[in-house]
Every structure is written in C-alpha cells, then in structure tokens.
Amino acid sequence: MGSTPEFGRRELIRRAAALGVAAVPAMGLLSACASGGGDDSDNKQVSKGTKSAKNPLAVNEKAALDVVIFDGGFGQQYAKDAEAEYKRAYPSAEVKHSATQDIAPQLQPRFNGGTPPDLIDNSGAKQMDMGTLVGQNQLTDLNALLDAPSVDDPGKKVRDTLRPGVVEMGQFDGDQTWILYYAYTVYGVWYSKTNLAKLDAQYPETWDEMLKVCEAAKKKGIAGWTYAGKYPYYIPFSLYPFIGKIGGVEVLNRIDNLEPNAWKDPAVKAAFEAYYELYRKGYILQGTPGLDHIQSQTAWNEGKALFIPNGSWVENESKKTTPKDFRMAVGAPSSLDKNDKLPFGTLWASGGEPFIVPRHAKNPQGGMELLRIMLGRKSSQNFIKAVSSLTSFNGGTEGLVLPPGLASCQEALDKAGKNVLNPRLQDWYVALEKEKIGVGALGEMMAGRLTPDEAIKKIQKFADDTARDSSVKKYKHK
C-alpha cells in the first residue's frame, strides 16, 4: 500500500486506518518521536536575516534549507519547482530535497536527536501523528507565515489568499496554526455527464429526482449507486455534507464535539433513511459490499452505476479506466426537501497534504518562506497541471485547461460560495470514524444488515465510548 505511488495522501491514510495496518506502528513511532524532542542546545537555529519587503519572514539568505516530501500520489516535482524559486530568491542557500514514503520511521531519529528538517510534507500511511506533535510542542506556529504578504500581492496576507477552512484545519485548541494543508479536496457524489445524458437526465438537485433517475437507470439494467464496500468510510464523503445541508453546520459540529445524542438529531435520521432507501429499492450495484475502491470506481467508469461517493483524487486515480467521453463531474448533495437549512450547492471541501515546520528546525524561517512561495499563483499552477488537483491557494486555475473532474470541482466551489462544510471527525478521531462508524455501522446499513435506527444507535454508542475514553485527546469547535 505504502509503495503505490498513484495513491493520493488522504486515501492512503484512510485505507491504512481501515485495514489496521501501517497507521498503528506509525502512531507508536510518533509517540516516541514526539516525547524525545531534543532541546534547543541540540540544534541551534540559524540567525535570522534582515526583514524587508522582499524578505518579510527575515530569512537568513545563506542558511541551508532541509526539505522532506512524501513521495506519494502527488509526486515531488511540484516541491522541486518551488525549491527552484526559493533558490532564485536566495542563491547562496543550499537546498536539500529528500523524498520518502516512510515519513515517521525516517524522521523519528531526527526528532529524537533534535535535528528535524525545516519543512516536512507529513503524509502517507506512515505519517507522524499530528495530535501528538502538537501536544508535545514539537511544531512551529505558522501564523507568522499566514500574516506575511503573499508573493503575488503584497497588499494581501497569505491567510487571505487561502480557500475556506484551510487555516482552521491547521488549528487545534486555540488560534495557533500548526499545519498548512496544501492540496484541496472536494468531496461529493461523482457522476458521468455522458451517462446521465443517455438517460435524458441531469444531476438531481432533489432527493425525489435522485430516486427517479435511479429508477430509470434500474429499468435499463444500470445501478444508481456503487461505493467502496470494503472501505465504507467513503460513504460519508457525500453523506456528511447531506446531513449538514439538511440540519445545518451545527449538527456536524455537535457530532465532531462528541456531544451526547448528537447522532440522534432528526437531520441524521432523515439522511440515513434516504440512503437506506437506495438499498431498499435495489438501486445499489449488486456485489458492492465486496468491492474495494478501485473495483467500485472501475465499475462506475464502465457505466455499471451512475453515482459514487468520493473525493477529487478519483479523477487521477481512475484515469486508466475512464472512457475519453466520460465527462466526469462532482455533484453537491441533493436537497432532501424545502426544509433543508442550507441551499443546494452546499458541499464538503477541505485541505489535504499537511505541511509542518518543526519547532527545533534549524531554519524555520526558510521552511515558512518555501511554503509562502508554494502558496503563490505560479507554484499552484505547477501543482494543478502536474497532479490534477487544486491547491489551498484560492485561485491559480485561470488560463489553465482543466480536466473535466477538476473543472467541475472549481465550478462546485464557486456555486457553494460560503456554504463549504468541513467535518472534523475524520481528522480528530480516526479510529472512531474509519473502523467503527464506517466499517461497523454505515457499511452494515448500506448492505441491509442494519436499519437506519439500529445504525444510529450503534454509532452513538461508539461516539459515547470515545467521549468517555480518557486516553483519547478531545477537540472541539470554537
């Protein structure tokens, strides 16, 4: 799994978590790593440079820069291109670039010895545990970067150029920002415009229309939906924003906060019953519970099912089996009815590919400066063209010919406007979200082995157990 380069960072973590491999030893490594930490005497930071309009972070122009990038689905070239820009700005600085899929095993000794890199793309199945790093005070607060002028417009702060939710995702208990998520993922219901057109249909904006489209497909021997049955934590990619659309963002916040009876909210029940209807009416592709992510995506590409819950990495990941005339697109959750709290177009989108600057880095200013360069238009466009993914920079697509799926992501974000949701359960409580809610309840419900009420009762118990577990660090929305 960790050696599969085409996998994106987020799906790699999800699969590892669900399978119970790789992620567990990584957590153990990081506990040891973060507790070692080293003190400032082990690794004295280089002196700062002179702050100026061109050097707002006071980078030491002669100091070496040490960068470690996760060698996964996004590759390394985008980082190398940004490093070349850094080298042009600071020609006397030596830039060391390293790439690995074994982030935690390789970096643990360096953290323990007080000699961590200056910038780390902390990704993959063997990523370092963020909560542990933050809890052990191992990271640099990135607010200095966020408050620095952007490389494209000195009149704008970096934080003002980012997409919704990116800054908040990097925060834990307060206003300090420990992580900068570089990629930007759009979640939702993915479909083929071509295959819908064959049914004289468009993407259904209401649930009644969704059921009608699925019924029309069924009459032609086509399933309405499929999903990664072996990894049912894909289901929330469309289900969670559906819940938020029906009941408002506060419902998702209560769920994230592990509040008592949060899962018993009427919006949850309504959403679960709607999805269960897909199973009850025979609209789910036969055999779906036994399919993995690749198999379900391939069946979808082959036109065996119209819709699949997924994230925007699906276009790159499934490109080998996607027909040229497929016209891939993402849809926001359909409206349940006129009583929904949020309008059609509301969707889930959030940052991915987490970058961190260690507290004991020799050149933290250089690490933040490289991030500042990466968050400019030129570097963002390099990333978009290379890996068919948006960045957290709110722009960069102008003048580019985007592949169909990515173009639809941009259109969906434009339509959503401020109605972008960002559930945190998957970031704050990985085991609860993936192994218990996903595998233990949602997968069972969608396979017809649990009713919606039974699934809700089971999930609420999982959440309550987590809330009572003193060994699990708790987080809350502000």
Average pLDDT over residues 205-228: 98
pLDDT tens-digit readout, 56-68: 999 999 999 999 9
Asked if the model's pLDDT at residue 21 lies above 80, the reply is: no
Asked if the model's pLDDT at residue 181 lies above 50, the reply is: yes
On whether both 147 and 173 belong to a single domain, the answer is yes
The answer to the question of residue 175 being in a domain is: yes
Closest CA to 464 of 209, 263, 286: 263
On whether both 292 and 307 belong to a single domain, the answer is yes
Ranking 243-252, 391-400, 454-463 by mean pLDDT, the lowest is 391-400
The answer to the question of residue 415 being in a domain is: no
pLDDT tens-digit readout, 454-467: 999 999 999 999 99
How sure is the predictor about 427, in pLDDT bands with cuts at 50, 70 and 90?
confident
Question: How confident is the prediction for the chain on average, in pLDDT?
Answer: 89
The answer to the question of residue 430 being in a domain is: yes
Pick the residue with more confidence: 426 or 464? 464
On whether both 445 and 388 belong to a single domain, the answer is no
Measured CA to CA, the distance from residue 76 to residue 90 in angstroms comes to 21
On whether both 333 and 367 belong to a single domain, the answer is no
Q: Which domain holds residue 338?
A: 186-348+424-468
Asked if the model's pLDDT at residue 447 lies above 80, the reply is: yes
Average pLDDT over residues 127-152: 91
On whether both 164 and 243 belong to a single domain, the answer is no
The answer to the question of residue 60 being in a domain is: yes
Domains: count for the chain: 2
The answer to the question of residue 404 being in a domain is: no
Residue 444: give its domain's CATH number: 3.40.190.10
Asked if the model's pLDDT at residue 17 lies above 60, the reply is: no
Contact between residue 5 and residue 180 where contact means Cβ atoms under 8 Å apart: no
Ranking 13-27, 190-204, 343-357 by mean pLDDT, the lowest is 13-27
pLDDT tens-digit readout, 333-369: 999 999 999 999 999 999 888 999 999 999 999 999 9
Q: What are the C-alpha distances in Å from 56 to residues 333, 358, 373?
A: 42, 20, 12
**pLDDT at residue 173 in the model:** 74
Query: What does the chain come to in residues?
Result: 478
On whether both 70 and 162 belong to a single domain, the answer is yes
On whether both 194 and 334 belong to a single domain, the answer is yes
Asked if the model's pLDDT at residue 31 lies above 80, the reply is: no
**pLDDT at residue 43 in the model:** 54
On whether both 358 and 321 belong to a single domain, the answer is no
For residue 305, the one-letter residue type is A
Q: Are strands 65-70 and 119-121 parallel, antiparallel or unpaired?
A: parallel
pLDDT tens-digit readout, 285-314: 999 999 999 999 999 999 999 999 999 988
On whether both 203 and 339 belong to a single domain, the answer is yes
The answer to the question of residue 4 being in a domain is: no
On whether both 297 and 336 belong to a single domain, the answer is yes
The answer to the question of residue 31 being in a domain is: yes
The answer to the question of residue 325 being in a domain is: yes
On whether both 76 and 129 belong to a single domain, the answer is yes
On whether both 130 and 267 belong to a single domain, the answer is no
